[in-house]
Structure formats: structure tokens, C-alpha cells
Amino acid sequence: MIRYIAALWLTLLAATAQAEIDIQEVTSPGGIDAWLVQEESIPFVAIEILIDGGASLDLPGKRGATNLMMALLEEGSGDLGARAFQEAREALAASYGFDAYDDSVSISAVFLSENRDEAVALLRQALTEPRFDQSALDRVRGQVLSIIRGEAQDPNDIAGTAFDKAAFGDHPYGTSINGTAESVTALTRDDMIAAHRNALVKSRVHVGAAGDISAEELGALIDTLLGDLPEDGPPRPDSVDVALDGSTTVIPFDTPQSVALFGHEGIDRDDEDFFAAYLLNEILGGRGVESRLMREVREKRGLTYGIYTHLVPKDLAALYLGQVASANSTIAQAIEVVRDEWAKLAENGVTAEELQQAKTYLTGAYPLRFDGNAEIAGILVGMQRQGLPADYVVNRNAMVEAVTLEEVNRVASELLDPEGLHFVVVGQPEGLENTDQ
């Protein structure tokens, strides 16, 4: 029986578009919560599942285990080896995705209405009865090792690795979820079983669904898929302080264009100033060609193809990050502009006009995000993971509108730290000193 909590007709009103997003909050007979947008015009459904924990649950010395384990879920389960499993999936024209992130693992599925039961049964088998055959483990390990070798030679990855190390040190956030060549080479089948036991647990599940399925059908489907997972997993790591000191790290690499990552501590998703910070970021570097950094570095000076900044609120730490790439001869100039803009904004704040433009854009663009079943399922599961209520889709634009100029400019002076802005530059930058001790 479905414990049917609420069906909300949530009408999303914006200045420019109205979208009716009817979110149903469903609790399965087994007690698992899910959100659903039922849309029957195309005969398929998209399901997005997030499970908190993720690669941060890697056990000591087993870095890369969760990532490798998730990659192996499509490599055979139950009585089907890797090839037989994929043949069965292809015959159903279903698609499954399994991914690992710092704070969660994800399971994405798209399948036709006409063979939904078979597609769900096959996915259930992948989640609950993975084989972790040695041959599959060795084959996929080889693929991961190849990726690790590639990252060591890619300027963007080199910069990202160094930045994470500087920010988070020995915390799991400080190293790649792929693991190292050494740690991945040493992983065993038992490590896969342990990672599976720890990462796929019922109490940390969030589910979003959109498409041709009813609340009742979804409830039964969720219990089939997830009902037999263990209840709880091991404790998650502690929060970590961002340890960046505002220096510049130059990593020499023989390539014509230098890549720079920059950032400092950010702001938590549940901080009451988050919306003000979000608007601030839109204006500084979030909204493409309209942002201050894009205007100054690309449009006025032609120094880059793109420069962007992002708020990165992880579960256990928050960063404010940016990236830019410019020829070795001009990267120093681009970095100088970034520092100047950071300082200017911290000191003088944004103008009322800039804030109004950012609000108009964000509120107008929000309804356009609900574009397609997989996108909607992804939004639904993301909202649940962040602890937002279902009526957030209705109230969100009003929350954006409510932010005042004073709030944004207070947050600008508190959040933006021009002195603390840490740069990692990979390339052969001219006229740039390494100040990292």
C-alpha cells in the first residue's frame, strides 16, 4: 500500500514563463521517500537516485574503491556475466548510469513503459547482486589506471589535484576519488564488497522520478529496487577547514596555454546568506558573457575564451572556485585582472542595476530548467538531498527577489577575500612567481 502524503499542484510563476510542476511526494510501502512528476505524453520514465556518503567513505588505504565499485555495477550480476548483462539491457533499450562523487553515489535509469518491469528487475539485480568477477575487476581497473595516467598529463587535472591537496590535505576531499595508481592496483574483490556494503544503504537514499508512471507504481518500483539494501552505513568523515593561504602555486608544464584555478573558502548551502552569495557569484563570474570577469578578461581584453566562478558547497566544506586559461604570455595579466575585480567587488559591492539584472535572469531562467524527464528527476533528487521542501519550486523565485542590495554587499565584503585568493597555475606562465612555500 502506498502511504500517499501529498500531491501538490505547484504552479511556478515567473516574469516570463509559467510552468506547472506537479510534484507528488510518495512514500513506498517499505518506507522509502520519493518525489515524482508524472508526465504521460511520452512512454518512458527517468529515475534518479542519490545515496549520501560516496567516495568519502573509502576506507583507509583503499582510495578509489567506491569509484571502482560503482563502475563494476554494470559489469555483471546474479547469473549474468558482464556481456550477458549488457545484452539483456540492450534488448530492453534501457539505459543505466552508475557514478561516484565526493559526497554521494548516483544511479540513473531511463526505461520504456512497455518493458518497465523487466528493466527494473535487471537494475535491481545490478544494485543488490553484483558479481564483482575478478576478470571484470581487472579489466575496469585497467581503464581506471589509464584515466589516472591521463590526469597526470592534463593541465586542468594537474591544477585540480594540486588545488584540492592544498585546500583539504589528508581529508578525503584532498585526493581524487579515482585513487592513485598504487591504491587502485592493490584493490581486491573483498574491497569491492566492502565498498558496496558501505555506499548503497537505505537510510541515505533520495529518489526523484519523472515520466510515464503513477505514484503507486513508483512506490512498488522503489521497494523492488532498493528494499533489500542494508539499512545504514558507516559514519561519514568530519567536516574540514579550507586551508588555503592566498599564495600562488606554479606547476611547470610544457604547454602553450596556462590553466589557472583559483579560490578560497565558500559558503554552505544552508547558510541564510546563500541566496545573496549566489546572486553575488552570478554577477562576478557565474553568468557567462554578462559577468564582470567575462567582460573584463574576455570582452575588453581578449585574454581568454572563458572565465567562470562557482560556489561549491560540499557536505563537509564549502569552496568558492574559479578558473581561467590564457596563453603563457598573458596569464599573469589575466590573474591580475581577477585579483583587481575580486578586491573591487569586496570593497564597493555591486550596483542596484547589476543586482536587478541578475535577479531577472535567475528568476526567468528557473522555470526553463524543468526541461525533460531526466532533468526533472535530477532536480527533484537534488532538492531532497539539500533538504529543501517540495514547495521550494514555487517559493524559490520569491526568495531570490527578497535579497536586498545591502545583503549582497555585506556578503561581498564578508565572503570575498582578495588576500586569501589562492591560485594554482599549470603551464609556463611568464612573469608569475611561485609564492607557495
Name the segment binding other proteins (CB under 8 A); options: 62-70, 146-154, 235-243, 265-273: 146-154
Distance from C-alpha of 187 to C-alpha of 204, rounded to nearest angstrom: 25
Shortest CB 147 distance to other proteins, Å: 9
Distance from C-alpha of 28 to C-alpha of 5, rounded to nearest angstrom: 10
- Contacting other proteins (CB under 8 A), which of 325, 338, 383, 408? 325
Distance from C-alpha of 136 to C-alpha of 81, rounded to nearest angstrom: 9
> Are 322 and 293 contacting, i.e. CB atoms less than 8 angstroms apart?
yes
Between strands 44-52 and 104-112, the pairing is: antiparallel
- Contacting other proteins (CB under 8 A), which of 11, 146, 351, 413? 146
Does the protein bind other proteins through residue 185 (CB under 8 A)?
A: no
- Contacting other proteins (CB under 8 A), which of 270, 299, 347, 406? 299
Shortest CB 362 distance to other proteins, Å: 8
Shortest CB 383 distance to other proteins, Å: 18
- Contacting other proteins (CB under 8 A), which of 352, 368, 398, 399? 368
Shortest CB 245 distance to other proteins, Å: 28
Residue 269 exposure: Cα atoms within 13 Å on the Cβ side:
13
Name the segment binding other proteins (CB under 8 A); options: 58-66, 247-255, 261-269, 404-412: 247-255
- Contacting other proteins (CB under 8 A), which of 38, 257, 384, 409? 257
- Contacting other proteins (CB under 8 A), which of 152, 193, 352, 402? 152
Three-state secondary structure readout of 176-188:
CCCCCHHHHHCCC
| Residue with smaller CB distance to other proteins, 91 or 402 | 91
Distance from C-alpha of 332 to C-alpha of 341, rounded to nearest angstrom: 14
Distance from C-alpha of 318 to C-alpha of 108, rounded to nearest angstrom: 26
Does the protein bind other proteins through residue 387 (CB under 8 A)?
A: no
> Are 54 and 103 contacting, i.e. CB atoms less than 8 angstroms apart?
yes
Residue whose C-alpha cell is 514547495? 391
- Contacting other proteins (CB under 8 A), which of 34, 69, 72, 110? 110
Does the protein bind other proteins through residue 39 (CB under 8 A)?
A: yes
Find the distance separating the first CA and the last CA of the chain, reported in whole Å: 63
Q: How far is CA 201 from CA 204, 306, 413, in A?
A: 6, 40, 41
Does the protein bind other proteins through residue 145 (CB under 8 A)?
A: yes
Does the protein bind other proteins through residue 255 (CB under 8 A)?
A: yes
Name the segment binding other proteins (CB under 8 A); options: 62-70, 196-204, 365-373, 378-386: 365-373
Does the protein bind other proteins through residue 87 (CB under 8 A)?
A: yes
